[in-house]
Amino acid sequence: MATIILGVTGSIAAYKAADVASRLVKLGHSVHCVCTPCALQFVTPLTLMTLSRNPVVSSFEDETGSWVPLHIKLAAMADLFCVLPASANTIACMAQGLAPNALTSLYLACRAPVLIFPAMNGLMWDHPATQQNAATLAARENHQIIGPDNCGILACGDEGKGRLVSADCAIEAIVAALA
């Protein structure tokens, strides 16, 4: 069974990562959640730790237990690196190679296949900057962008594209990437 890093960012859809983590554990995978500091405004480390059955990394201060930085250790262990949900900001950081937090640092150190599941307001997704960043990531070897959904009611009240794909769709993409 695989070791999956589940990156969680500061999107209203962050709570859905808990369901995906739980389902992956039930499929027998080892799941390690790495949150941006902003993600913790939307979902608690306690929820993610309990459902993933592993400690959650959310800041460099969580990394004091070992002389090898945890984000480097996890990057080396990963069979798959997922970012679900992926915010516009984290997509931009990943595209530009910026590493202000444990998640984005882990991304740079990781050579496993990368699945990115964007979730944001439709105007944010459609912005040329976000589109360019997503295209940059999609063009990288072993990178896939899944979603966002083309329709649905968004948390901001708008209707249209931007919503995170369903948990079923995410699990399907993860299982396919591991096959």
Ligand X SMILES: Cc1cc2nc3c(=O)[nH]c(=O)nc-3n(C[C@H](O)[C@H](O)[C@H](O)COP(=O)(O)O)c2cc1C
Count the Cβ atoms, other than its own, within 10 Å of residue 129: 12
What does the DSSP assignment read for 78-129? -SEEEEEEE-HHHHHHHHHT---SHHHHHHHH--S-EEEEE---HHHHHSHH
Residues identified as active-site: 156
How near is the Cβ of 148 to ligand X at its closest, in Å? Answer: 9
Q: How many Å is the Cα radius of gyration of the chain?
A: 15
Residue type (1 letter), 125: W
Draw the binding track, 139-178, toward ligand X (x: CB under 6 A; -: no contact). Answer: ----------------------------------------
CA distance 93 to 119: 15
* Residue selected from 2, 27, 38, 40 as contacting ligand X according to rule CB under 6 A: 38
Q: Which is nearer to ligand X, 12 or 134 (CB)?
A: 12
CA angle in degrees (0–180, nearest 5) for 57-58-61:
85
Count the Cβ atoms, other than its own, within 10 Å of residue 28: 8
- Binding region for ligand X (CB under 6 A) out of 25-33, 69-77, 84-92, 142-150: 84-92
DSSP 8-state assignment for residue 27: T
Query: Which of 33, 26, 61, 62 minimizes the C-alpha distance to 48?
Result: 33
How near is the Cβ of 90 to ligand X at its closest, in Å? Answer: 4
Q: Which is nearer to ligand X, 10 or 147 (CB)?
A: 10
Q: Does residue number 133 form part of the binding site for ligand X (CB under 6 A)?
A: no
Q: Does residue number 39 form part of the binding site for ligand X (CB under 6 A)?
A: yes
* Residue selected from 87, 105, 112, 115 as contacting ligand X according to rule CB under 6 A: 87
- Binding region for ligand X (CB under 6 A) out of 4-12, 19-27, 68-76, 144-152: 4-12
Q: Does residue number 10 form part of the binding site for ligand X (CB under 6 A)?
A: yes
Contacts with ligand X, residue ranges (CB under 6 A):
9-13, 36, 38-39, 87-90, 119-120, 124
